[in-house]
Amino acid sequence: MFLYRLDNEVIFKKAFTDKLVFTQFVKDVIGIDLVVKKIETKKRFKPKIAYIDFAYDIFAQSKDNRVIVEIQRVNYDYNFDRFLHYHLMAIAQLQRGAKDYKIKPKVYTIVVLTAPSLIEDDEGKTVKDDILISDIIPRNRKGQTVKFYGHQLIFLNPHFKNDDTPPQIKDWFDLILESISHPDNPKINFQNQAIKKAAELIEDDNLTPEERTASKVAFATEETLQIVEKRIRHEGKMEIAKNMMAKGFDIQAISEITGLDVETLNQLETE
């Protein structure tokens, strides 16, 4: 057995758009039994909900219209404001068909972080949690919650699995990580039928020539995006450094503020 990597957009969608895989994954993460109408990729709402054009990686709605689940696989852009936007827009879209302001279906957005990069909060502190859950639940002054809504935005980071990670979620974390690190000899729970099915779907022998080509294109595209984003961030820091130099800031102070090394700053000053 040789698995293709689940940090690849094409491979991830091939595995998680399978109904058995999708519904078991949702049950293991959220704890609900889901019977879906259909599973869509690159789901867009028409007409648009907001000024930003966005698409969900994987989107499904239950047959009884009680639950909507979106899954976002993220490998290079840890922009948490974007995930919140997607989540809230899915909730807002339901209002179009509602007779009043009551929104009956619950919206769950699951974000799977497949890159090993460390995540920082808005204060720059490193986040090393395996699971993060954001609820839209009001609290009173005593800290007691009132369940008006059931919507959830859930972040899963396989790279920070630990002894406390729920076993059913750990199985999925192992599948993702093993497909990346040990694709030729994955140590995963084959007793779990959904895990087994996902592994079979992304096995080398079960990919079509078109899927192999598409996965290579997706990988190259993401690598290019990462390079471009790093360059943009670097150039932004260089511009800040130039402005600070013009105002007479010390090189060491500029280095600490921008994160650029002293050698780079000395070269910039010389130029």
Closest CA to 10 of 37, 38, 39, 41: 41
Asked which of 156, 188, 207 is the last residue of a domain, the reply is: 207
pLDDT-above-70 percentage for the chain: 88
Question: 67 with 132, same domain?
Answer: yes
Q: Is the pLDDT of residue 67 over 70?
A: yes
In DSSP terms, 43 is beta-bridged to 56
- 119 neighbors 156 (Cβ within 8 angstroms): no
In a domain, 3, yes or no: no
Q: Which residue has the tokens 């598409």?
A: 214
In DSSP terms, 68 is beta-bridged to 61, 107
Question: 188 with 217, same domain?
Answer: no
Q: Provide the 8-state DSSP code for 4.
A: P
In a domain, 1, yes or no: no
In a domain, 16, yes or no: yes
Question: 158 with 270, same domain?
Answer: no
Per the rule left: phi > 0, alpha: psi between -120 and 50, beta: everything else, 250 is beta
**How many domains does the chain contain in total?**
2
In a domain, 2, yes or no: no
pTM of the model: 0.79
Q: Is the pLDDT of residue 41 over 80?
A: yes
Single-letter residue type at 44: R
Q: What does the pLDDT read at residue 58?
A: 93
* Residue 254, SS3 per DSSP: helix
> Could you tell me the residue range of the domain that residue 212 belongs to?
208-271
- 47 upstream amide cis, omega within 30 of 0: yes
The stretch 64-88 carries a mean pLDDT of 79
Question: 145 with 243, same domain?
Answer: no
Helix (H) / strand (E) element for 27: namely helix 19-30
- How far is the C-alpha of 193 from the C-alpha of 21, rounded, in Å? 9
Number of H helices, E strands in the chain: 8, 8
In a domain, 81, yes or no: yes
19: pLDDT confidence band, cut at 50, 70 and 90?
Answer: very high
- How far is the C-alpha of 245 from the C-alpha of 204, rounded, in Å? 54
- 265 neighbors 254 (Cβ within 8 angstroms): yes
Asked which of 173, 188, 207 is the last residue of a domain, the reply is: 207
143 alpha carbon, distance to own chain's centre: 30
What is the DSSP pairing of strand 67-74 with strand 126-127?
Answer: unpaired
Q: How many residues does the chain have?
A: 271
Q: What does the pLDDT read at residue 89?
A: 87
Tokens linked to 264: 């780079």
18: pLDDT confidence band, cut at 50, 70 and 90?
Answer: very high
Mean pLDDT computed over every residue of the chain: 86
Edge-to-edge strand order for the sheet containing 56-62? 36-43, 56-62, 67-74, 106-113, 152-156, 131-135
Question: 190 with 225, same domain?
Answer: no
Asked which of 154, 189, 207 is the last residue of a domain, the reply is: 207
- 109 neighbors 72 (Cβ within 8 angstroms): yes
Question: 196 with 254, same domain?
Answer: no
pLDDT of 179-218, one tens digit each? Answer: 999 999 999 999 999 999 999 999 999 999 999 998 988 8
Helix (H) / strand (E) element for 128: namely none
